[in-house]
Every structure is written in structure tokens, then in C-alpha cells.
Structure 1
Amino acid sequence: MYRLLGEIILILSVVSVMLASVALAASRISLNRNVWLAGFFVEVLDFFYFPLKFFFFKLSDTRKLDKWMVSLKNIAHRNKFANTRARMIIAPHCMRFIECPASSTKAGIQCISCGKCVFTRLKEDAVRFGYKLYIVTGSSFVKHIIKEGKYDGALLIACDYELNKVMMGLKGKDIVTYGIPMLNDGCFNTKVEYSKVIETLEMFADN
């Protein structure tokens, strides 16, 4: 009995390691080209996220894991996001002007279009492409945003860690996510490649 149980555990362990390894390799490849069965590999990596994160923490850099996973999720979600109709943009407050005059509410920072940071332009482009812009000071604000309206698509701008965190958090909420990584991490003065933002907005515009 115990021998059989031990053999089953061993087999499950070997299969798990193999699955996680293949999924991890697929996520790395996704940085440069399309990946077949991306959705399946996303589920595998989400399931093994914490063990993999510990592995990367010990031997590499956890930011690589999040970067690879976000890239893979974008491939997996691309077609579904193209079919969404009620879309929002969720962006971090750390990209705003350090002396931002805008007020904060439970739904995030209320941009007044003062022209001192990228949000003036992003607010205009969000309207132009049919999105509602939310500037949040933390992932907890996303809960309030979901209650504000019925959205089925969320374009996220953040560091890779926050992108992956929110993507996992919105899983099962009937909201399709697509992420645009920022150029740098930090609590203030962070930046995004704006041409990438426009490229993404235009990619989904016809849909």
C-alpha cells in the first residue's frame, strides 16, 4: 500500500516537473514568437507559480518569470481581448507627475489633464479608442473598479510583477486582460514606451 502510494507520488512529481519545465520554456519562447497551446501553458504556470517563483528567487530573478508569463498570457488572451466590447485601461499612479495636483478616490487618481505627465495624453487616447482610464495606487483598487461598471476587457500598464498579479487576480472574473510592461520598476517616475501603448490600442481598434 505505502509502496504504491510512494510510486504514485513519484510519478506525479515527475509529471509536474516536466509540465512546468515545458510551460516555462514556452513562456520564454513567447518573448520572440507565437506559441502553440499558450492558454494551456498559462494554466500550468499559474498553478505552479509559487514553487517556480521560489526557484527563480534562489537561482535567477523573479522578474524574469513574471515577464515570461505576461508575454505568454498576451498571446493566449489576444483573440479573446479582440472580441471584447467594454474595455478599460488600468495604469499605475507611479507614472504621474511627482507633484500631481489630481485628487484620489476609491476608484483611483482622477486626472485633471494638467499636461505635466503622460496621463494627459493617455486620458485622451483612452477616450479616442473607446476605453475608460483608471489610474490606481495599488492592485486593491481594481476591486472597486470592477464594481463601478461591467467591463469585459482590461488593458493593463504596469511592471511585469503587477501585470502578472492583476492578470491572475482577474482570472475567473469574466474580464480578459492584456498587458503592456513599463520600461522600469519603482514607486515613482516610472515610464512606459508610449509608442507601444498606441500600437496596442490600434491593434485592437478594428475589433
Structure 2
Amino acid sequence: MNRNSHFRNLSLGVILVFFVLSASILTSAVFLGAEFFKIIFVCTAFLLFIVLALLLAGFFTVNTSLVNDRKSDKKNNGAFTRFFMNVALRVYMPFLLFVSDVFSYRKDEIRKVFIKANNKYVLSLDKKVLPEKLLVILPHCLQWSECAHRIREGLNECRQCCRCTLGKIKDLVRKFRVNIAIATGGTSARKAIKDLKPDLVVAVACERDLASGIIDVKKIPVYGIINKRPHGPCRDTWVNTEELEWALKHFLQKQE
């Protein structure tokens, strides 16, 4: 099954509901006798059709961005496209995430689409930053749950025993000289961003934490990488270090 099918199904369902409501109200306004109620219904229908147009624009903007391969982002790098994508990510997708939460409809699948569309947008910015202005945020659950050396700040305590992916990540941090923060949740992640004031964030987390974090951090681009959870949530998770390395290489300025 197409991985974006749940996103399309929910989008089309929401759009259809608004269309039916708009058409019903407009029809009622035409056939009701009282002019006062006609005006109310016509105005309401007009507003609903505006919302419907915004929903359609958001759906097509996000859906179109998902069609292209990651490496073709620069082809869609125009200011006009970026503007509509930014509006879709800030208005349409949070609304869709809210609907999926209310009805418990494929929440993680919708979040994955949001994260993927957000990453496409961040890549289209073609933003390059200095190592000291890039922050990598990692979830604490990446550490092996039975490790005797608990990591609380940074990776200095990591002994690189190869029981988890933090050892490889520690090598990447040394190689690229970027800032790193170990987050125990959304509050600590936001505090790290507030304290370090980065120009760009590469965040590793589950779908729920990434989606909420991207929405919360409005002024700083956040590139999200979903962690793997073979043992369930919040325990002995891991991340594709090759994808993390690719992201660091992409966003960092080339040093002379």
C-alpha cells in the first residue's frame, strides 16, 4: 500500500465534509424565504468555501511535494512554492494532525507525512550553517537501557561500547564539531534550543515528538529523522547514522 494513502484518504475526507457543508448551507440560503437568514447562510457558505479552498491548496501543496525524490528539491526552490509550502505546514498540516488525533485515525502515518513534507521544505531552503550554529537533538532512549554509564548531558559519558548507536553518533559529533543535546522530552528539547540559539536543528525522535516539536519551533528550520523502535517506544531505540551523517553534510557550510 502506498505509504501516503492514509494522508490522502484523511485529506479527501475532510475536504469532502467541508464541501457538503458548504453546498448544503448555500442551497438552504437560496430556498429560505427570510432575507435575513439568506444573508447569514450566504456569508457562512462563502466563509466555508474559503476554508475549503485553503484545504485544497494545502492538500495539493503537500501532496505534490511528496511526489518528487529528495534529491530533486532544488527544482522546487522558488519563493512562491516555498511560501505555499510554509503556509501548508503551519496551518493545514497541524489542522490535519488535530483531526487525526481526535478520531484516532492513523496518527503516526499522518505524522510521518508531515515530517516528510517538512523535511522537503527545509531542504528546499538550501540553508547552510556553521557547525557551532547547528544543533543535533537526540532522545535519551537511544542509549542502551542496561548501560552502567547514564548519559545526561552531551556524549562525554559515552564509552562507545557499540551496544547502541550513540557511539557512532559521538564519532559524527567529533568529526563535524556540531552541538548536541540529549532530550528527555519536549520541554528539555525546547530548553536546549532556547539556550544554544541554533540556526538549524537536526532532531531524532519518534513521530509524535518530532511532529509536535516541529510545530512548536516556528522560527528555526528543523530537519526530522524518525528513530527505530524494535523494542517498543522509549527503550533501546536506534537511528540510521548514515542518514544523520547525510543531513549534517548537507546543512553544514564547507570549511576551507
Asked whether the two chains share a fold, i.e. TM above 0.5, the reply is yes
How much does 1:157 deviate? 0.9
Structure 1: runs of 5 or more not aligned: none
Matched, 1:199 2:234: no
Matched with 1:23 is 58
| Larger CA deviation: 74-83 vs 161-170 | 74-83
Higher relative contact order by CA 8 Å / sep ≥ 6: 1 or 2?
1
| RMSD of aligned Cα (Å) | 2.6
Letter in 2 for 1:4: I
Letter in 2 for 1:20: L
How much does 1:121 deviate? 1.6
Give CA deviations for 1:41-71 in whole Å, capped at 9, x if unaligned. Answer: 21332452454324662xx401121111111
Equivalent position SS for 2:136: strand
| Larger CA deviation: 77-86 vs 132-141 | 77-86
Equivalences for 1:57-76 in 2 at 5 Å? 57=104, 60-76=105-121
Matched with 2:136 is 89
How much does 1:21 deviate? 4.1
Matched with 2:197 is 150
Equivalences for 1:144-183 in 2 at 5 Å? 144-171=191-218, 174-183=219-228
Letter in 1 for 2:210: L
Equivalent position SS for 2:228: coil
CA gap of 1:140–1:18, structure 2 versus 1, over 3 A, is: same
Q: Which has the larger radius of gyration?
A: 2
How much does 1:81 deviate? 6.4
Matched, 1:112 2:157: yes
The answer to whether the Cα contact below 8 Å between 1:102 and 1:109 also exists between their aligned partners in 2 is no
TM-score (norm 1): 0.81
Matched with 2:172 is 125
Letter in 2 for 1:156: A
CA gap of 1:170–1:181, structure 2 versus 1, over 3 A, is: same
TM-score (norm 2): 0.67
Matched with 1:102 is 150
Matched with 2:13 is none
The answer to whether the Cα contact below 8 Å between 1:157 and 1:180 also exists between their aligned partners in 2 is yes
Equivalent position SS for 2:186: coil
The answer to whether the Cα contact below 8 Å between 2:129 and 2:251 also exists between their aligned partners in 1 is no
| Larger CA deviation: 3-12 vs 154-163 | 3-12
How much does 1:205 deviate? 3.2
- Give the structure with the larger strand fraction: 1
Q: Identity over aligned residues, as a percent?
A: 19
CA gap of 1:164–1:175, structure 2 versus 1, over 3 A, is: same
How much does 1:206 deviate? 4.0
